[in-house]
Amino acid sequence: MGAAGDPRPDPAVTRPPGVGGTEAADTKAARTRSAIIDAALRLFRERGYDATTMRAIAAEASVSVGNAYYYFASKEQLIQGFYDRAQVDHAAAARPVLETEVDLAARIVGVGEAWLEVMSPYRPFAGKFFKNAAEPTSPLSPFSAESSPARVAAVALWEEVLAGSDAKIPRRVRPELPELLWLYFMGIVLFWVHDPTADLSATRRVLHRTAPLVVKAIALTRLPVMRGMIDDVVALIHDVRSVFPIPESP
């Protein structure tokens, strides 16, 4: 407050219980923010990312260009709003599978398919999104502090995938698995972004074939021969994790 800081309203500063608590209270500011994101995503879908100008977004949302920049630092930043929504939608779309299926591989596939479903309207320009996400200094990077809420939520989803399955999971690797599954799925997403097939058949195939492999790999960590290596890997993971600032909410 005293500091001459960013006047931009803090997104998701409070996290009300229940799903979808991304937007704060229904203030005027929050509604304007929403309107701008709505306009942006609508236009992105219709014309693509590059062809959509900030002037057009502002007009569509009935605000001035400068005002749009008052709420979002840049055109890229609008994507952060998209992420938050996508995360919420994905979690919702994954519910049915999470509540009925118990086979681990099937749960992984189901949650993956839910993602493909939710994201399909945005696929044509998903590349543009991930392009920006790849820059480390960008707040859009999945590893950045700004993405932390969405990342935590995503990891929690994969934790649920594990928790609700009937698979016996070795204790040694159990704590690392949610994050590793999330990472695995980031790989699937990377593939999805590059998938040249129109019907996403390649991504689907990879998803369906890797899921059982993941389950098998988890089971194999039980083997005594593996033990030494697994310990090394786990230690490495902890080391790597300690390198990055993890703003874990209290």
Partner DNA sequence: GGAGATTTTTGAACACGCTCAAAAACACTC
Partner DNA sequence: GAGTGTTTTTGAGCGTGTTCAAAAATCTCC
For binding to a second copy (CB under 8 A), which residues are involved?
A: 127-128, 130-138, 141, 143, 191, 193-197, 202, 205-206, 209-210, 212-213, 216-217, 220, 223, 225-226, 228-229, 232-233, 236, 239-240, 243-245
Minimum distance, C-beta of residue 9 to a second copy, in the bound complex (Å): 27
**For DNA, what does the binding mask look like between residues 67 and 106, x meaning CB under 7 A?**
x-xxx-xxxx------------------------------
CB-based contact 234:179 (threshold 8 Å): no
Nearest residue to 216 via CA among 102, 99, 103, 112: 103
The binder of 137, among DNA, a second copy, none, by C-beta within 5 to 8 A per type, is: a second copy
Note whether 126 and 140 are within 8 A (CB).
no
Dihedral sign for Cα 45, 51, 54, 58, please. negative
User: Whose structure tokens read 């001035």?
Assistant: 64
Put residue 18 in one of left, alpha, beta given phi > 0 → left and psi -120 to 50 → alpha.
left
Residue placing its CB nearer to a second copy in the complex, 29 or 233? 233
SS3 label, residue 217: helix
The residue (of 45 and 128) whose beta carbon lies closer to a second copy is: 128
Instruction: Look up residue 237 and give its amino acid.
Output: I
Count CB neighbours of 43 within 10 A.
Answer: 19
Q: How far is the CB of 170 from a second copy (least distance, A)?
A: 15
Beta strand ranges found along the chain (DSSP E): none
Least separation in angstroms between CB 4 and DNA? 9
Among 18, 25, 26, 28, interactor with DNA by CB under 7 A? 28
Question: Which lies closer to DNA via its Cβ, residue 10 or residue 166?
Answer: 10
**d(Cα 235, Cα 134) in Å, to the nearest integer?**
26
Q: Which of residues 50-69 bind DNA (CB under 7 A)?
A: 50, 52-55, 63-67, 69
Cα 58 to Cα 67: distance, rounded to the nearest angstrom: 8
Helix (H) or strand (E) holding 123: helix 123-133
C-alpha to C-alpha distance for 227 and 243, rounded to whole angstroms: 25
Q: Tell me: does residue 29 bind DNA (CB under 7 A).
A: yes
Min separation Cβ 206 and a second copy, Å: 6
Q: Which does 53 bind (CB under 5 to 8 A by kind): DNA, a second copy, none?
A: DNA
- Residue 66 contact partner, candidates a second copy, DNA, none, CB within 5 to 8 A by sort of partner: DNA
Q: Using CB under 7 A, list all residues that contact DNA.
A: 1, 7, 9, 28-29, 32, 50, 52-55, 63-67, 69-71, 73-76
